[in-house]
Structure 1
Amino acid sequence: MEIYPWMFICCISLYNVKVSSAVTTGLRWVRVNVPQYRVPGETAMLQCDYDLGNDTLYAVKWYKDHEEFYRFVPKAKPQANWYEVEGVHVDVTKSDSRKVVIHSVSWKTSGLFRCEVSAEAPSFASAQSEAKMEVVELPTENPVITGVEEDYQIGDEINLNCTSGMSHPASILHWYINEQQIQKQEALIQYPVEHYQHGLVSSVLGLRFRLSSHHFRGGSMRVKCVASMMPMLFQSDRESVVQTQTLPLREALLLVKSSTSRNMASTVLAITLIGSIRLLS
Protein backbone atom coordinates (compact mmCIF):
# COMPACT_ATOMS: atom_id res chain seq x y z
CA MET A 1 0.00 0.00 0.00
CA GLU A 2 1.51 3.33 -1.06
CA ILE A 3 0.40 6.77 0.04
CA TYR A 4 1.40 9.94 -1.81
CA PRO A 5 1.49 12.87 0.60
CA TRP A 6 3.75 15.71 -0.24
CA MET A 7 4.63 19.23 0.54
CA PHE A 8 7.16 21.24 -1.43
CA ILE A 9 8.72 24.56 -0.60
CA CYS A 10 11.27 26.41 -2.62
CA CYS A 11 12.58 29.74 -1.56
CA ILE A 12 13.92 32.21 -4.10
CA SER A 13 16.19 34.91 -2.70
CA LEU A 14 18.23 37.81 -3.93
CA TYR A 15 21.50 38.86 -2.38
CA ASN A 16 22.77 42.40 -2.11
CA VAL A 17 26.41 42.40 -1.09
CA LYS A 18 28.09 45.74 -0.50
CA VAL A 19 31.82 46.37 -0.60
CA SER A 20 33.55 49.63 0.28
CA SER A 21 36.64 50.94 -1.48
CA ALA A 22 39.55 52.52 0.34
CA VAL A 23 39.19 55.61 -1.86
CA THR A 24 36.64 58.02 -0.38
CA THR A 25 36.44 60.65 -3.14
CA GLY A 26 36.50 58.22 -6.05
CA LEU A 27 35.09 54.71 -6.43
CA ARG A 28 33.17 54.13 -3.20
CA TRP A 29 31.41 50.78 -3.40
CA VAL A 30 30.20 47.91 -5.57
CA ARG A 31 27.06 45.87 -4.92
CA VAL A 32 25.82 42.79 -6.80
CA ASN A 33 22.26 41.54 -7.08
CA VAL A 34 22.22 37.90 -8.17
CA PRO A 35 19.19 35.54 -8.18
CA GLN A 36 19.96 32.93 -5.58
CA TYR A 37 17.99 30.13 -7.28
CA ARG A 38 17.08 29.38 -10.88
CA VAL A 39 15.54 26.40 -12.70
CA PRO A 40 17.29 24.87 -15.77
CA GLY A 41 16.32 26.69 -18.96
CA GLU A 42 15.47 29.96 -17.25
CA THR A 43 17.16 33.32 -17.78
CA ALA A 44 19.19 34.94 -15.02
CA MET A 45 19.94 38.64 -14.74
CA LEU A 46 23.04 39.54 -12.76
CA GLN A 47 23.16 43.18 -11.67
CA CYS A 48 26.22 45.16 -10.63
CA ASP A 49 25.60 48.55 -9.06
CA TYR A 50 28.40 50.90 -8.05
CA ASP A 51 29.21 54.45 -6.99
CA LEU A 52 32.16 55.89 -8.91
CA GLY A 53 32.25 59.15 -6.98
CA ASN A 54 34.56 61.50 -8.92
CA ASP A 55 36.15 58.67 -10.89
CA THR A 56 35.56 57.66 -14.51
CA LEU A 57 34.69 54.05 -15.31
CA TYR A 58 37.45 52.06 -16.95
CA ALA A 59 35.95 48.55 -16.97
CA VAL A 60 33.38 46.21 -15.45
CA LYS A 61 34.35 42.53 -15.37
CA TRP A 62 32.30 39.51 -14.37
CA TYR A 63 33.71 36.20 -13.14
CA LYS A 64 32.23 32.80 -12.37
CA ASP A 65 34.34 30.82 -9.93
CA HIS A 66 37.33 33.04 -10.80
CA GLU A 67 36.92 32.65 -14.60
CA GLU A 68 36.12 35.86 -16.49
CA PHE A 69 33.09 35.55 -18.76
CA TYR A 70 32.03 39.15 -19.46
CA ARG A 71 33.76 42.50 -19.81
CA PHE A 72 32.42 45.99 -20.48
CA VAL A 73 34.89 48.75 -21.40
CA PRO A 74 33.27 52.08 -22.39
CA LYS A 75 36.17 53.17 -24.62
CA ALA A 76 36.53 49.80 -26.40
CA LYS A 77 34.92 48.74 -29.67
CA PRO A 78 32.79 46.80 -29.14
CA GLN A 79 32.21 47.90 -25.58
CA ALA A 80 30.90 44.51 -24.43
CA ASN A 81 32.60 41.13 -24.88
CA TRP A 82 31.91 37.71 -23.41
CA TYR A 83 34.11 34.63 -23.11
CA GLU A 84 33.35 30.93 -23.15
CA VAL A 85 32.86 29.58 -19.64
CA GLU A 86 31.06 26.28 -19.03
CA GLY A 87 27.40 26.84 -18.14
CA VAL A 88 27.47 30.58 -18.88
CA HIS A 89 25.79 31.81 -22.09
CA VAL A 90 25.66 35.62 -22.14
CA ASP A 91 23.07 37.55 -24.14
CA VAL A 92 25.29 40.48 -25.13
CA THR A 93 22.40 42.39 -26.70
CA LYS A 94 20.72 42.66 -23.28
CA SER A 95 23.89 43.19 -21.21
CA ASP A 96 25.66 46.45 -20.40
CA SER A 97 27.85 48.14 -17.79
CA ARG A 98 25.44 47.36 -14.93
CA LYS A 99 23.86 44.04 -15.81
CA VAL A 100 24.59 40.72 -17.50
CA VAL A 101 21.84 38.46 -18.85
CA ILE A 102 22.55 34.72 -18.93
CA HIS A 103 20.10 32.62 -20.93
CA SER A 104 19.27 28.90 -20.70
CA VAL A 105 20.92 28.26 -17.35
CA SER A 106 21.88 24.69 -16.43
CA TRP A 107 23.29 22.95 -13.36
CA LYS A 108 26.75 23.89 -14.63
CA THR A 109 25.73 27.54 -14.28
CA SER A 110 25.70 27.22 -10.49
CA GLY A 111 28.59 28.94 -8.82
CA LEU A 112 30.05 32.07 -7.27
CA PHE A 113 29.60 35.20 -9.41
CA ARG A 114 31.83 38.23 -8.88
CA CYS A 115 31.64 41.74 -10.33
CA GLU A 116 34.83 43.81 -10.41
CA VAL A 117 34.71 47.52 -11.18
CA SER A 118 37.84 49.55 -11.94
CA ALA A 119 38.33 53.27 -12.52
CA GLU A 120 40.40 55.30 -14.99
CA ALA A 121 43.57 57.17 -14.08
CA PRO A 122 44.62 58.85 -11.95
CA SER A 123 43.05 56.80 -9.13
CA PHE A 124 43.03 53.33 -10.80
CA ALA A 125 40.75 52.35 -7.92
CA SER A 126 38.94 49.01 -8.01
CA ALA A 127 36.31 47.27 -5.90
CA GLN A 128 34.38 44.03 -6.20
CA SER A 129 31.40 42.13 -4.86
CA GLU A 130 30.22 38.55 -5.16
CA ALA A 131 27.21 36.29 -4.58
CA LYS A 132 26.28 32.69 -5.23
CA MET A 133 23.62 31.37 -7.62
CA GLU A 134 22.27 27.82 -7.45
CA VAL A 135 20.42 26.15 -10.33
CA VAL A 136 17.91 23.63 -8.99
CA GLU A 137 15.69 21.00 -10.61
CA LEU A 138 12.34 20.82 -8.83
CA PRO A 139 10.76 17.38 -8.38
CA THR A 140 7.81 16.65 -10.64
CA GLU A 141 6.53 13.75 -8.50
CA ASN A 142 5.10 13.57 -5.00
CA PRO A 143 7.02 11.96 -2.18
CA VAL A 144 5.90 8.37 -1.58
CA ILE A 145 5.24 6.76 1.81
CA THR A 146 5.73 2.99 1.86
CA GLY A 147 5.52 0.32 4.53
CA VAL A 148 1.93 1.06 5.60
CA GLU A 149 0.17 -2.03 7.01
CA GLU A 150 -3.54 -2.79 6.71
CA ASP A 151 -4.06 -2.53 10.45
CA TYR A 152 -2.13 -1.95 13.66
CA GLN A 153 -2.44 -2.78 17.33
CA ILE A 154 -1.38 -0.56 20.21
CA GLY A 155 2.19 -1.63 20.98
CA ASP A 156 3.00 -2.49 17.34
CA GLU A 157 6.17 -1.06 15.81
CA ILE A 158 5.49 1.16 12.81
CA ASN A 159 8.13 1.23 10.07
CA LEU A 160 7.59 3.70 7.24
CA ASN A 161 9.82 5.04 4.49
CA CYS A 162 9.39 8.34 2.65
CA THR A 163 11.01 8.75 -0.78
CA SER A 164 11.11 12.16 -2.40
CA GLY A 165 10.63 12.86 -6.09
CA MET A 166 13.74 13.18 -8.25
CA SER A 167 15.42 16.59 -8.03
CA HIS A 168 18.74 18.40 -7.99
CA PRO A 169 20.03 18.89 -5.40
CA ALA A 170 18.41 16.30 -3.13
CA SER A 171 15.22 17.26 -1.31
CA ILE A 172 15.19 17.56 2.48
CA LEU A 173 12.69 15.23 4.20
CA HIS A 174 10.96 15.61 7.57
CA TRP A 175 8.42 13.45 9.39
CA TYR A 176 5.54 14.83 11.45
CA ILE A 177 3.15 13.12 13.84
CA ASN A 178 0.10 15.20 14.74
CA GLU A 179 1.85 18.27 13.23
CA GLN A 180 4.85 17.83 15.54
CA GLN A 181 8.15 17.36 13.72
CA ILE A 182 10.02 14.23 14.76
CA GLN A 183 13.35 15.34 16.20
CA LYS A 184 14.48 12.15 17.95
CA GLN A 185 17.26 10.64 15.87
CA GLU A 186 16.53 7.14 17.17
CA ALA A 187 13.13 7.32 15.42
CA LEU A 188 14.62 8.45 12.09
CA ILE A 189 16.48 6.18 9.68
CA GLN A 190 18.83 7.96 7.29
CA TYR A 191 19.39 6.27 3.91
CA PRO A 192 21.83 7.21 1.14
CA VAL A 193 20.38 9.28 -1.70
CA GLU A 194 19.30 7.35 -4.77
CA HIS A 195 20.96 8.40 -8.05
CA TYR A 196 19.27 8.53 -11.45
CA GLN A 197 20.13 9.64 -14.97
CA HIS A 198 21.07 13.24 -15.78
CA GLY A 199 22.31 13.88 -12.24
CA LEU A 200 18.89 13.67 -10.57
CA VAL A 201 18.66 12.24 -7.05
CA SER A 202 15.98 11.39 -4.52
CA SER A 203 16.10 11.31 -0.73
CA VAL A 204 14.85 8.50 1.51
CA LEU A 205 14.05 8.91 5.21
CA GLY A 206 12.66 6.17 7.42
CA LEU A 207 10.43 6.53 10.48
CA ARG A 208 10.30 3.86 13.21
CA PHE A 209 8.33 4.11 16.44
CA ARG A 210 6.11 2.01 18.70
CA LEU A 211 2.44 2.85 18.59
CA SER A 212 0.96 3.91 21.93
CA SER A 213 -2.26 5.51 23.11
CA HIS A 214 -0.64 8.95 23.53
CA HIS A 215 -0.21 9.14 19.74
CA PHE A 216 -3.98 9.41 19.36
CA ARG A 217 -5.84 12.69 19.70
CA GLY A 218 -9.56 12.36 19.50
CA GLY A 219 -9.20 8.78 18.33
CA SER A 220 -6.85 9.46 15.40
CA MET A 221 -3.19 10.03 14.56
CA ARG A 222 -1.91 12.12 11.66
CA VAL A 223 1.37 11.12 10.02
CA LYS A 224 2.92 13.39 7.39
CA CYS A 225 6.09 13.42 5.33
CA VAL A 226 7.35 16.79 4.11
CA ALA A 227 9.78 17.35 1.23
CA SER A 228 11.44 20.72 0.76
CA MET A 229 14.34 22.24 -1.10
CA MET A 230 16.01 24.94 0.93
CA PRO A 231 19.70 25.13 0.00
CA MET A 232 22.00 26.83 2.52
CA LEU A 233 22.23 30.56 2.10
CA PHE A 234 25.50 31.94 0.86
CA GLN A 235 27.55 33.04 3.83
CA SER A 236 29.63 36.20 3.74
CA ASP A 237 31.17 38.55 6.23
CA ARG A 238 29.97 41.42 4.10
CA GLU A 239 26.66 43.23 4.39
CA SER A 240 23.81 41.22 2.90
CA VAL A 241 20.05 41.55 2.55
CA VAL A 242 17.85 38.56 1.72
CA GLN A 243 14.32 38.70 0.33
CA THR A 244 12.32 35.46 0.30
CA GLN A 245 9.31 34.42 -1.77
CA THR A 246 7.46 31.22 -0.86
CA LEU A 247 5.82 29.08 -3.55
CA PRO A 248 2.46 27.29 -3.12
CA LEU A 249 2.44 24.71 -0.33
CA ARG A 250 0.75 21.35 -0.86
CA GLU A 251 0.19 18.57 1.63
CA ALA A 252 -1.53 15.23 2.09
CA LEU A 253 -1.93 13.19 5.25
CA LEU A 254 -1.88 9.59 6.37
CA LEU A 255 -4.62 9.30 8.99
CA VAL A 256 -4.55 6.38 11.43
CA LYS A 257 -7.85 5.91 13.30
CA SER A 258 -8.80 3.65 16.18
CA SER A 259 -11.70 1.31 15.53
CA THR A 260 -13.25 2.69 18.71
CA SER A 261 -12.10 5.72 20.66
CA ARG A 262 -13.14 4.08 23.94
CA ASN A 263 -10.83 1.10 23.67
CA MET A 264 -7.38 2.21 22.50
CA ALA A 265 -6.06 -1.36 22.76
CA SER A 266 -8.24 -2.41 19.84
CA THR A 267 -7.17 -2.64 16.22
CA VAL A 268 -6.54 0.65 14.41
CA LEU A 269 -7.02 1.25 10.71
CA ALA A 270 -4.95 3.29 8.24
CA ILE A 271 -6.99 5.65 6.09
CA THR A 272 -5.71 7.82 3.26
CA LEU A 273 -6.88 11.41 2.90
CA ILE A 274 -6.53 13.45 -0.28
CA GLY A 275 -4.37 16.49 0.34
CA SER A 276 -5.34 20.09 -0.03
CA ILE A 277 -3.61 23.00 -1.75
CA ARG A 278 -3.06 26.27 0.10
CA LEU A 279 -1.38 29.43 -1.05
CA LEU A 280 0.89 31.03 1.51
CA SER A 281 0.83 34.78 1.88
Structure 2
Amino acid sequence: MLISFMTLIYYALDGNCVTATTGGLKWVKVTVPQFRAPGEPAMLECDYDLGNDTLYSVKWYKDHEEFYRFVRKTRPPAHSFKVEGVEVDMDSSNSTRVFLRSVSIKTSGLFRCEVSAEKPSFSSAQAEARMEVLSLPKEDPQITGVQDQYQVGDEINLNCTSGKSHPAPVLLWFINGNKVTGNSILVHYPPIYFNDGLVSMTLGLRFTLSSVHFQGGLMKVKCIASVSPVLWRGDRESIVQSLPIKDMREALLLVTSSKGNLVYPAAALIFICFTFKVVPFL
Protein backbone atom coordinates (compact mmCIF):
# COMPACT_ATOMS: atom_id res chain seq x y z
CA MET A 1 0.00 0.00 0.00
CA LEU A 2 1.36 3.41 -0.96
CA ILE A 3 0.73 6.36 1.35
CA SER A 4 1.66 9.79 -0.03
CA PHE A 5 1.77 11.40 3.38
CA MET A 6 0.64 10.72 6.92
CA THR A 7 -1.21 13.12 9.16
CA LEU A 8 -1.29 12.75 12.90
CA ILE A 9 -3.81 14.83 14.84
CA TYR A 10 -3.75 15.24 18.58
CA TYR A 11 -6.42 17.09 20.58
CA ALA A 12 -5.61 18.64 23.94
CA LEU A 13 -7.92 20.20 26.51
CA ASP A 14 -6.32 23.61 26.20
CA GLY A 15 -7.30 23.98 22.55
CA ASN A 16 -4.10 22.71 20.91
CA CYS A 17 -4.17 20.57 17.81
CA VAL A 18 -0.82 19.30 16.57
CA THR A 19 -0.33 17.89 13.09
CA ALA A 20 2.73 16.35 11.53
CA THR A 21 3.17 16.31 7.76
CA THR A 22 6.16 16.29 5.46
CA GLY A 23 7.17 19.97 5.41
CA GLY A 24 3.56 21.14 5.34
CA LEU A 25 0.98 22.39 7.83
CA LYS A 26 2.49 21.69 11.25
CA TRP A 27 0.02 22.76 13.95
CA VAL A 28 -3.07 24.81 14.83
CA LYS A 29 -3.84 26.38 18.20
CA VAL A 30 -7.11 28.01 19.33
CA THR A 31 -7.29 30.56 22.13
CA VAL A 32 -10.68 31.78 23.36
CA PRO A 33 -11.73 33.40 26.66
CA GLN A 34 -12.79 30.67 29.04
CA PHE A 35 -15.42 32.92 30.63
CA ARG A 36 -17.29 36.06 29.69
CA ALA A 37 -20.22 38.02 31.11
CA PRO A 38 -23.24 38.91 28.94
CA GLY A 39 -22.61 42.04 26.88
CA GLU A 40 -18.83 41.74 26.87
CA PRO A 41 -16.79 41.35 23.65
CA ALA A 42 -14.67 38.28 22.99
CA MET A 43 -11.59 37.71 20.85
CA LEU A 44 -11.14 34.26 19.28
CA GLU A 45 -7.61 33.52 18.06
CA CYS A 46 -6.44 30.82 15.68
CA ASP A 47 -2.66 30.47 15.37
CA TYR A 48 -1.03 28.05 12.96
CA ASP A 49 2.25 27.10 11.33
CA LEU A 50 1.86 26.37 7.61
CA GLY A 51 5.42 25.17 7.15
CA ASN A 52 6.06 25.09 3.39
CA ASP A 53 2.33 25.20 2.59
CA THR A 54 0.27 28.17 1.40
CA LEU A 55 -2.94 29.10 3.17
CA TYR A 56 -6.18 28.27 1.40
CA SER A 57 -8.85 28.95 4.04
CA VAL A 58 -9.64 29.39 7.72
CA LYS A 59 -13.10 28.41 8.96
CA TRP A 60 -14.68 28.95 12.37
CA TYR A 61 -17.48 26.83 13.84
CA LYS A 62 -19.60 27.07 16.98
CA ASP A 63 -21.00 23.69 18.02
CA HIS A 64 -20.43 22.43 14.44
CA GLU A 65 -22.15 25.43 12.76
CA GLU A 66 -19.90 27.56 10.57
CA PHE A 67 -20.09 31.28 11.38
CA TYR A 68 -16.92 32.73 9.79
CA ARG A 69 -14.81 31.91 6.74
CA PHE A 70 -11.61 33.43 5.39
CA VAL A 71 -10.56 32.32 1.89
CA ARG A 72 -7.35 34.01 0.82
CA LYS A 73 -8.06 34.17 -2.94
CA THR A 74 -11.65 35.45 -2.80
CA ARG A 75 -12.63 39.11 -2.78
CA PRO A 76 -13.50 40.03 -0.15
CA PRO A 77 -11.72 37.17 1.58
CA ALA A 78 -13.85 37.18 4.75
CA HIS A 79 -17.51 36.17 5.10
CA SER A 80 -19.73 35.60 8.12
CA PHE A 81 -22.77 33.35 8.50
CA LYS A 82 -25.71 33.75 10.84
CA VAL A 83 -25.44 31.58 13.95
CA GLU A 84 -27.49 32.25 17.09
CA GLY A 85 -25.46 33.96 19.79
CA VAL A 86 -22.58 34.90 17.45
CA GLU A 87 -22.16 38.48 16.17
CA VAL A 88 -18.91 38.94 14.25
CA ASP A 89 -17.21 42.33 13.92
CA MET A 90 -15.93 41.92 10.34
CA ASP A 91 -13.73 45.02 10.48
CA SER A 92 -11.74 43.56 13.38
CA SER A 93 -11.55 39.97 12.08
CA ASN A 94 -9.02 38.35 9.74
CA SER A 95 -7.25 35.06 9.01
CA THR A 96 -5.95 34.62 12.56
CA ARG A 97 -8.64 36.12 14.76
CA VAL A 98 -12.38 36.69 15.00
CA PHE A 99 -13.83 39.46 17.15
CA LEU A 100 -17.29 38.96 18.68
CA ARG A 101 -19.04 42.24 19.48
CA SER A 102 -21.33 41.29 22.37
CA VAL A 103 -21.76 37.84 23.84
CA SER A 104 -24.91 36.39 25.38
CA ILE A 105 -25.85 33.21 27.19
CA LYS A 106 -26.43 31.61 23.79
CA THR A 107 -22.81 32.34 22.81
CA SER A 108 -21.63 29.60 25.19
CA GLY A 109 -20.30 26.60 23.32
CA LEU A 110 -17.43 24.81 21.65
CA PHE A 111 -15.50 26.94 19.15
CA ARG A 112 -13.44 25.22 16.45
CA CYS A 113 -10.96 26.64 13.94
CA GLU A 114 -10.16 24.63 10.80
CA VAL A 115 -7.14 25.59 8.69
CA SER A 116 -6.67 24.25 5.14
CA ALA A 117 -3.65 24.53 2.83
CA GLU A 118 -3.43 25.00 -0.91
CA LYS A 119 -2.28 22.30 -3.32
CA PRO A 120 -0.27 20.20 -3.64
CA SER A 121 -0.64 19.00 -0.02
CA PHE A 122 -4.29 20.02 0.61
CA SER A 123 -3.53 19.31 4.25
CA SER A 124 -5.84 20.55 6.99
CA ALA A 125 -5.90 20.67 10.78
CA GLN A 126 -8.24 21.96 13.43
CA ALA A 127 -8.35 22.90 17.09
CA GLU A 128 -11.18 23.71 19.48
CA ALA A 129 -11.81 25.31 22.86
CA ARG A 130 -14.88 26.06 24.94
CA MET A 131 -16.16 29.45 26.06
CA GLU A 132 -18.79 29.79 28.78
CA VAL A 133 -20.84 32.96 29.29
CA LEU A 134 -21.58 33.28 33.00
CA SER A 135 -24.59 35.07 34.44
CA LEU A 136 -24.50 35.07 38.23
CA PRO A 137 -27.70 35.11 40.32
CA LYS A 138 -28.92 38.54 41.39
CA GLU A 139 -31.26 37.18 44.06
CA ASP A 140 -30.58 35.23 47.25
CA PRO A 141 -31.98 31.69 47.47
CA GLN A 142 -35.40 31.59 49.09
CA ILE A 143 -36.43 29.09 51.79
CA THR A 144 -40.16 28.37 51.74
CA GLY A 145 -42.43 26.06 53.72
CA VAL A 146 -41.52 27.47 57.14
CA GLN A 147 -44.19 27.01 59.84
CA ASP A 148 -44.89 29.33 62.78
CA GLN A 149 -43.91 26.65 65.28
CA TYR A 150 -42.57 23.13 65.37
CA GLN A 151 -42.85 20.22 67.76
CA VAL A 152 -40.61 17.19 68.18
CA GLY A 153 -41.95 14.57 65.78
CA ASP A 154 -43.15 17.14 63.25
CA GLU A 155 -42.19 16.80 59.61
CA ILE A 156 -39.85 19.52 58.35
CA ASN A 157 -40.88 20.26 54.77
CA LEU A 158 -38.77 23.01 53.19
CA ASN A 159 -37.86 24.09 49.67
CA CYS A 160 -34.87 26.18 48.62
CA THR A 161 -35.18 28.01 45.28
CA SER A 162 -32.23 29.75 43.67
CA GLY A 163 -32.12 32.93 41.65
CA LYS A 164 -31.70 32.73 37.87
CA SER A 165 -28.22 32.08 36.53
CA HIS A 166 -26.12 30.40 33.85
CA PRO A 167 -24.86 27.75 34.18
CA ALA A 168 -27.51 26.18 36.38
CA PRO A 169 -26.87 26.82 40.09
CA VAL A 170 -26.02 24.02 42.50
CA LEU A 171 -28.05 23.91 45.72
CA LEU A 172 -26.84 22.44 49.03
CA TRP A 173 -28.61 22.06 52.38
CA PHE A 174 -26.82 22.23 55.75
CA ILE A 175 -28.19 21.35 59.20
CA ASN A 176 -26.13 22.81 62.05
CA GLY A 177 -23.22 23.27 59.67
CA ASN A 178 -23.30 19.67 58.39
CA LYS A 179 -23.92 19.16 54.70
CA VAL A 180 -27.03 17.08 53.95
CA THR A 181 -26.08 14.23 51.63
CA GLY A 182 -28.79 11.62 52.15
CA ASN A 183 -31.06 11.37 49.11
CA SER A 184 -33.77 10.00 51.40
CA ILE A 185 -34.35 13.49 52.83
CA LEU A 186 -33.56 15.52 49.71
CA VAL A 187 -36.19 16.19 47.06
CA HIS A 188 -34.89 17.02 43.59
CA TYR A 189 -37.14 19.12 41.33
CA PRO A 190 -36.69 19.64 37.59
CA PRO A 191 -34.93 22.88 36.59
CA ILE A 192 -36.94 25.90 35.45
CA TYR A 193 -35.69 27.34 32.14
CA PHE A 194 -36.37 30.96 31.14
CA ASN A 195 -36.54 32.52 27.68
CA ASP A 196 -33.31 34.46 28.27
CA GLY A 197 -31.38 31.20 28.70
CA LEU A 198 -31.11 31.44 32.49
CA VAL A 199 -31.98 28.59 34.85
CA SER A 200 -33.44 28.37 38.36
CA MET A 201 -33.23 25.31 40.61
CA THR A 202 -35.25 24.06 43.59
CA LEU A 203 -34.11 21.50 46.17
CA GLY A 204 -36.40 20.19 48.90
CA LEU A 205 -35.52 19.07 52.43
CA ARG A 206 -37.74 16.55 54.26
CA PHE A 207 -37.02 15.09 57.70
CA THR A 208 -38.66 14.43 61.07
CA LEU A 209 -37.71 16.88 63.81
CA SER A 210 -36.12 15.40 66.93
CA SER A 211 -34.37 16.76 70.01
CA VAL A 212 -30.96 15.74 68.60
CA HIS A 213 -31.35 18.42 65.92
CA PHE A 214 -30.95 21.16 68.55
CA GLN A 215 -27.57 22.28 69.79
CA GLY A 216 -27.77 24.59 72.78
CA GLY A 217 -31.45 25.10 72.07
CA LEU A 218 -30.82 26.19 68.48
CA MET A 219 -31.09 24.47 65.09
CA LYS A 220 -29.59 26.12 62.01
CA VAL A 221 -30.88 25.11 58.59
CA LYS A 222 -28.97 26.69 55.73
CA CYS A 223 -29.27 26.57 51.95
CA ILE A 224 -26.39 27.61 49.70
CA ALA A 225 -26.66 28.31 45.97
CA SER A 226 -23.42 28.33 44.00
CA VAL A 227 -22.51 28.69 40.36
CA SER A 228 -19.47 26.86 39.04
CA PRO A 229 -18.19 27.08 35.46
CA VAL A 230 -17.62 24.00 33.33
CA LEU A 231 -14.81 22.98 31.02
CA TRP A 232 -15.02 20.67 28.05
CA ARG A 233 -13.50 17.27 28.82
CA GLY A 234 -13.69 15.10 25.73
CA ASP A 235 -17.26 13.86 25.40
CA ARG A 236 -18.47 15.20 28.72
CA GLU A 237 -18.58 18.31 30.86
CA SER A 238 -16.94 18.40 34.28
CA ILE A 239 -17.38 20.82 37.14
CA VAL A 240 -14.21 22.77 37.77
CA GLN A 241 -13.15 21.81 41.28
CA SER A 242 -9.77 23.45 41.79
CA LEU A 243 -10.20 26.99 40.49
CA PRO A 244 -11.74 29.79 42.59
CA ILE A 245 -14.47 31.04 40.24
CA LYS A 246 -17.66 30.74 42.21
CA ASP A 247 -20.58 32.91 43.21
CA MET A 248 -22.28 31.80 46.43
CA ARG A 249 -25.41 33.03 48.11
CA GLU A 250 -27.06 31.51 51.14
CA ALA A 251 -30.27 31.65 53.16
CA LEU A 252 -30.27 30.79 56.87
CA LEU A 253 -33.22 29.58 58.93
CA LEU A 254 -32.87 29.74 62.71
CA VAL A 255 -35.20 27.62 64.83
CA THR A 256 -34.89 28.22 68.59
CA SER A 257 -36.17 26.06 71.42
CA SER A 258 -38.38 27.03 74.32
CA LYS A 259 -37.29 25.42 77.61
CA GLY A 260 -39.84 23.46 79.55
CA ASN A 261 -42.03 22.28 76.66
CA LEU A 262 -41.77 20.51 73.34
CA VAL A 263 -42.73 23.44 71.14
CA TYR A 264 -39.98 25.05 69.04
CA PRO A 265 -41.02 28.38 67.49
CA ALA A 266 -39.52 29.34 64.16
CA ALA A 267 -38.33 32.57 65.65
CA ALA A 268 -36.37 34.05 62.76
CA LEU A 269 -35.99 33.66 59.04
CA ILE A 270 -32.84 35.50 58.03
CA PHE A 271 -31.44 35.79 54.53
CA ILE A 272 -27.71 36.37 54.45
CA CYS A 273 -25.99 37.00 51.14
CA PHE A 274 -22.35 36.09 50.60
CA THR A 275 -21.19 37.13 47.15
CA PHE A 276 -17.74 35.96 46.09
CA LYS A 277 -16.03 38.00 43.41
CA VAL A 278 -15.42 36.26 40.11
CA VAL A 279 -11.68 35.75 39.69
CA PRO A 280 -10.30 34.92 36.21
CA PHE A 281 -8.51 31.64 35.72
CA LEU A 282 -4.80 32.07 35.51
Do they fold alike, i.e. is TM over 0.5?
A: yes
Number of the residue aligned with 1:143: 141
Q: How many residues align?
A: 261
Deviation at 1:95?
A: 1.8
The structure 1 segments of at least 4 consecutive aligned residues displaced by more than 6 Å after TM superposition are none
Deviation at 1:213?
A: 2.9
Out of 43, 46, 52, the residue aligned to residue 45 of structure 1 is 43
Deviation at 1:204?
A: 1.7
Structure 2 residue 272 is matched with structure 1 residue 275: yes
Number of the residue aligned with 2:177: 179
Aligned AA (1:257): T
Distance change in 2, residues 1:279/1:144 (3 Å): closer
Deviation at 1:202?
A: 2.4
Aligned AA (1:258): S
Deviation at 1:17?
A: 1.9
User: What SS does the aligned partner of 1:87 have?
Assistant: coil
Q: How does 1:37-186 map to 2 (within 5 A)?
A: 37-168=35-166, 170-186=168-184
What 5-or-longer segments of structure 2 have no aligned partner? 1-12
Number of the residue aligned with 1:211: 209
Identity of counterpart residues, as a percentage?
57
Distance change in 2, residues 1:259/1:54 (3 Å): farther
What 5-or-longer segments of structure 1 have no aligned partner? 1-14
**Counterpart-to-counterpart distance in 2, 1:211 and 1:143:** 23
Distance change in 2, residues 1:56/1:264 (3 Å): farther
> TM-score, normalized by length of structure 2?
0.77
Deviation at 1:158?
A: 0.8
Cα deviation per residue 1:87-136 (whole Å; 9 max; x = unaligned)? 32101222222221112223443333210112234433211012333445
Aligned AA (2:258): S
**Counterpart-to-counterpart distance in 1, 2:178 and 2:23:** 56
Structure 2 residue 247 is matched with structure 1 residue 259: no
User: What SS does the aligned partner of 1:93 have?
Assistant: helix
2:255 and 2:264 in contact (8 A); partners too: no
Deviation at 1:30?
A: 1.6
1:16 and 1:34 in contact (8 A); partners too: no
Number of the residue aligned with 1:6: none
User: What SS does the aligned partner of 2:14 have?
Assistant: strand
Number of the residue aligned with 1:3: none
| Worse-superposed segment, 139-148 or 23-32 | 23-32
Deviation at 1:33?
A: 2.2
> TM-score, normalized by length of structure 1?
0.78
Distance change in 2, residues 1:128/1:199 (3 Å): closer
Q: Quick one: higher RCO (CA 8 Å, sep 6+), 1 or 2?
A: 1
1:44 and 1:102 in contact (8 A); partners too: yes
Deviation at 1:145?
A: 0.5
Distance change in 2, residues 1:136/1:247 (3 Å): closer
**Counterpart-to-counterpart distance in 1, 2:161 and 2:250:** 15
Distance change in 2, residues 1:67/1:199 (3 Å): closer
Cα deviation per residue 1:14-59 (whole Å; 9 max; x = unaligned)? x622222131643222222233444433322222222333434332
2:255 and 2:266 in contact (8 A); partners too: yes
2:44 and 2:99 in contact (8 A); partners too: yes
Distance change in 2, residues 1:82/1:197 (3 Å): closer
1:154 and 1:264 in contact (8 A); partners too: no
Number of the residue aligned with 1:11: none
RMSD: 3.0
